[in-house]
Amino acid sequence: MGGMSFRIFIDGEAGTTGLKVATRLQTHPHVEMLHIDDAHRKDPDARLQLMRESAITILCLPDEAARDAVALADGDASIRFIDASTAHRVDQNWVYGFPELTTAQRGMIATAPRISNPGCYPTGFLALVRPLIESGILPADCRLNVPAVSGYSGGGKSMIGAHDAGGLAPQFSYGVNLAHKHLAEMTHYAGLQTPPIFMPSVGDFYAGMLVHLPLHADQFSTAVNADQLYQLYADWYAGAALVRMGAACANDENTPNMLAADALADTDSMEIFVFSDAQARRFWLVARLDNLGKGASGAAVQNMNIALGIDEAISLA
């Protein structure tokens, strides 16, 4: 790779995700970051100029602002985008930026002019569900429940500010209208016919995430045990740079007594856990990740690396 360098523009660098992307890119050996003057941060012409000068523009903006940023490019495919917002995640003209989703996904990301970064919860959910659906072990018409907890940084600057001002409960659930904005991508990319009952919550810790998938044996299309499920995931993610297996399975001496939600804070990896009761009648699958890492900025940098044709784990922890 030598001294090869790519110019990257983060549109929305001042936001929580933008700052975390910028931190990673500061140590990236093949990236030169382009910055916009504060005075021109909302100047369309100045932003478009930086987009044209960049190999990739990473959008770290609210949904509507992200749509407006893409509109500036006016369909110019030479301006490549990675969008960290929700705006384009189920848009058929955008490639979903979860390289581990299928065997084809990484190759699609590599050549795409438009890449949508996954949501944090969907990253954990899809890591658990897609292999089960694709292998036929779990039917597409299954009805799933998904309890999950994230650090308060997932709510961005406003929620971080509310926490620091003492305005947040120690833990709270939200999205209780059953219409969370992540549901569309969770349902679509899992291959499910019915959206899951998604039960997100926020805990009194800065970063980290647990996404749970409880299943009964009769929800599977065939008899399985924890060892078989563990092996399915181990094979699916074999060679994945950022996904690894956690504790083995039921009654294993390595099974943790407590599963800390923040154990992967400040990293860009994800862990998959498989637990069951001794009779293999009830299963508890868990994905653990940092909502700001593999759940946001880490994934954006991973996708950027793949799109630039370089080692996907560069500048990732």
Which residues are annotated as catalytic? 120
Residues 6 or more apart in contact with residue 151 via CB below 8 angstroms? 202, 203, 205, 206, 207, 208, 209, 261, 262, 265, 291, 292
Chain centroid to CA 293: how far?
A: 8
Phi, psi (rounded to 5 degrees) for 5:
-135, 140
State the Cα–Cα distance between residues 96 and 109, nearest whole angstrom: 8
State the Cα–Cα distance between residues 54 and 164, nearest whole angstrom: 36
Burial of 169 (0-12, 13-18, 19+ CB in 10 A): exposed
State the Cα–Cα distance between residues 6 and 14, nearest whole angstrom: 21
Token pair of 261 as six digits: 């939600």
Residues 6 or more apart in contact with residue 268 via CB below 8 angstroms? 242, 290, 293, 294, 298, 299, 301, 302, 316, 317
